[in-house]
């Protein structure tokens, strides 16, 4: 059974981020989480540029095809 990402995010917010906020403060947590989210968003730029090559490579890679078929 695959975990729902919303449940995982909610679990993290309830059990980890709240204590982190208390210890380090809102500004520090916001800067770190904001940087992480910005970094993930910036990863879309290489996908725009190299997306066709990446999809072609994944299609030719037998291990990845088997892995994705099992899901």
pLDDT at position 52 is 94
> Which pTM was predicted?
0.59
User: Domain range spanning residue 36?
Assistant: 5-70
Q: How many domains would you assign to the chain?
A: 1
Residues 24, 32: Cα–Cα separation, whole Å: 11
Report the 3 state secondary structure along the chain: CCCCHHHHHHHHHHHHHHHHHHHHCHHHHHHHHHHHHHHHHHCHHHHHHHHHHHHHHHHHCHHHHHHHHHC
pLDDT in tens, 15-69: 888 888 999 999 999 999 899 999 999 999 999 999 999 999 988 988 888 887 7
pLDDT at position 1 is 46
Please check the confidence at residue 71 and state whether its pLDDT lies above 70.
Answer: no
Q: Tokens representing 6? A: 């919303």
């Amino acid at each position: 059974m695959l975990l729902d990402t919303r449940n995982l995010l909610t679990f993290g917010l309830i059990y980890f981020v709240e204590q982190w906020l208390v210890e380090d403060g809102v500004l520090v947590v916001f800067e770190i989480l904001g940087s992480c989210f910005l970094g993930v968003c910036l990863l879309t730029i290489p996908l725009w540029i190299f997306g066709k090559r990446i999809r072609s490579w994944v299609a030719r890679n037998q291990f990845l095809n088997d892995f994705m078929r099992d899901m």
